Structure 1
Amino acid sequence: MDVPAHLTHLTGTPPTRLHALGHSHAWTLHRAETLDGRTLFIKALDNGTPTGVLTAEAAGLRWLAQATPDLVPPVLAADPHMLVLPWQPPHPPTPAAADHLGHSLATLHTTTPATYGAPWPGYIATLPLDNTPTPGPWASWYAEYRLAPYLPAAAEHLGRDGLRLLERVIDRIDDLAGTPEPPARIHGDLWSGNILWTPDRALLVDPAAHGGHRETDLAMLALFGAPHLDRILSAYQHTAPLNPGWRQRIPLHQLHPLLVHVVLFGASYRGMLLAAAASALAG
């Protein structure tokens, strides 16, 4: 793709400087300085047929901003080939920013959509994410739309015993899911790499946003570790207390992102996935 030309087409302003930031999945990343004095973050699809992943990301950011506009960056421009956001200079995470994140995330989650899923086709990384709007309950929705669809692609890495362990979780999902809750507006891929820190707050990027279970975002924060996680959780609990047993359900909510990692990256994530499945079954 001709990134400068397409950026000019989308924003109406040509870049004066363009800095390559690397490659991730099926897109390239850039920082652009423009003729009107702005600094922008660019995610541009590699050459090839657009899949809808960037339009899904833009839709998710806008949908999250409807509930908590201070928690996500504004979408400046987007189409199937490119996503344009304001550039956010990197800052180290601070306790104040962690407190802000916990409070704002709880506020986001108390905004309840009518159904699970979302009104657009979803993606997580480059994988389709079935967002068919569904009334629930969450347990059966999670099994049908977030676990079962990834088992065929993961099967070669899981082996027969591993696959059966995941199937046992699906068979017992009603017993494992805890107290029913209404759908929550969630980020959907909230690992620490999708948090941009400022001196006093956090911004969330790269969502796989949808109506889901609020414990899913918290479990994802814990999966690969987030800075000041205890402060995030404390601020969250102060704003919107979680139901009893939420810590025991963390492995259940981590199964979907770990399945996605197995599909994308292979057997190196098999051990983590099967350990989480065993923990979910143990309660």
Structure 2
Amino acid sequence: MAEMFEKRDRDPRSDLRCEAAALAWLGEATANGGLPVARPLEATRDRLVEQRVSSAPATAARAEAAGRALARTHAAAAPYWGAPPANWSGAEGYWISGQLTPIVPEQPAPEPWGACYARVHIMPQVRELVDARVWGTREAALFAKLCDRLTAGDFDAPQPGLLQPAQPARIHGDLWAGNLLFSDVPQGAVLIDPMARGGHAEEDLAMLQLFGAPHLDRIIAAYDEVSPLGPGWRDRVPLMQLQPLLLHCRLFGSGHFGQTLAVARRFA
């Protein structure tokens, strides 16, 4: 019998059925060479049982395999920017461990990536920091200027080659190194703990770069070989990191302010 891993979440807002739905949605790509996921076996609002993933050393070969497989996971696509996992809906998004993954519950009128990123992922977090009087009018004005540029499409960029240029990718949404679990599987790694949605593929790659991942250069090079990244992708990395940076400002405070505000000034 396969070993199991049990997760519990006592936050009254949380619903671990959404994480199970996110895992299942990402796992649909596995049959086409995408990354496997920690397979959900049972889910309730406060309890999730998964098949336990056996970890393995992070080698260059596994990193390359993971990069190729991540490209194919992204290529499974999403129906629109901000789309939730299949079989999950909610007006504001879904909560895990007290953290909200904002989603767009229904497909809006055609909206480019930058407009969705500003409206759904950037400005609500900025407003929370301003309302809490952590930031003031100067920071609010800075982010308003940045979001005007995002909404105008100044930073809209084509997706990697396996997707159509303006096609939303099926992204993990919280792909720091700890959620790409190296394992002895053909794809080199397994995805865990997603906050999945329709987004830009570069967001997941930027998250890996924000906190560092073993053999990161091999992951990205292998990804790029399978699904070539758009021109100028390196220049957009800080912008793609802005959503998790703002989250860290909210959760952990001033230690992340300098980097976050520097990114905003660069792109405003």
- Cα deviation, 1:244-282, whole Å, max 9, x if unaligned, reads 01111111111111111112222221112112223334x
Q: Check if 1:235 corresponds to 2:222.
A: yes
- Unpaired segments of 5 or more residues in structure 1? 1-36
* Unaligned residue ranges in structure 2 (runs of 5+): 159-164
CA distance in 2, matches of 1:149, 1:189: 18
Shift of 1:92: 2.4
Pair 1:49 & 2:28 matched: no
Question: Which residue of the other structure, out of 84, 103, 108, is the alignment partner of 1:131?
Answer: 103
Secondary structure of 1:41 counterpart: strand
Change (3 A) 1:124 1:143: farther
2:54, 2:184 within 8 Å by CA — same for their partners in 1? no
Report the equivalent of 1:17: none
The within-5 A match list for 1:3-152 is 37-46=1-10, 49-52=12-15, 54-68=16-30, 70-116=35-81, 117-118=83-84, 119-120=88-89, 121-123=93-95, 126-132=98-104, 133-134=106-107, 135-152=110-127
RMSD of equivalent CA atoms: 1.9
Structure-2 separation of matches of 1:251 and 1:49? 34
- How far apart, in 1, do the equivalents of 2:244 and 2:43 lie? 26
How far has the Cα of 1:234 moved from its partner?
A: 0.7
CA distance in 1 between partners of 2:63 and 2:96 (Å):
25
Q: What TM-score does the superposition give when structure 2 sets the normalisation length?
A: 0.84
The answer (yes or no) to whether the contact 1:158–1:270 under 8 Å persists in 2 is no
8 Å CA contact 2:42–2:49 kept in 1: the answer is yes
Counting only pairs closer than 5 Å after superposition, residues 113-192 of structure 1 correspond to structure 2 as 113-116=78-81, 117-118=83-84, 119-120=88-89, 121-123=93-95, 126-132=98-104, 133-134=106-107, 135-155=110-130, 156-173=133-150, 174-179=153-158, 181-192=166-177
Shift >4 Å, 4+ stretches: none
3-state DSSP of counterpart to 1:158: coil
For 2:264 and 2:171, how far apart are their aligned partners in 1? 22
The percent identity for this pair of structures is 40
How far apart are 1:167 and its partner, in Å? Answer: 1.7
**Worse-matched range after superposition: 172-181 or 56-65:** 172-181
Q: Secondary structure of the residue that 2:233 maps to in structure 1? A: coil
From the superposition, tell whether residues 72 and 102 of structure 1 become closer, same or farther in structure 2 (CA, over 3 Å): same
Distance 2:96 2:7 in 1: 15
Once the two structures are overlaid, the 10-residue window that deviates more, 154-163 or 215-224, is: 154-163
Q: Which has the higher contact order (CA 8 A, sep 6+)?
A: 2
Decide whether aligned partners of structure 1 residues 92 and 254 sit closer, same or farther in structure 2, where only a CA change above 3 A counts: same
Shift of 1:138: 0.9
- Over 3 Å counting, the alpha-carbon distance change for 1:124 and 1:220 in structure 2 is farther
Structure 2 match to 1:248:
235
Residue 270 and residue 217 in structure 1: after superposition, are their counterparts in 2 closer, same or farther (change >3 A)?
A: same
Pair 103,94 (structure 1): closer, same or farther in 2 beyond 3 Å = same
Q: Say how many residue pairs are matched.
A: 243
Q: 1:170 to 1:59 in 2, by over 3 A?
A: same
Contact 1:50 1:81 in 2 (8 A): no
Tell me, yes or no, if the aligned pair for 1:94 and 1:199 is still in contact at 8 Å: no
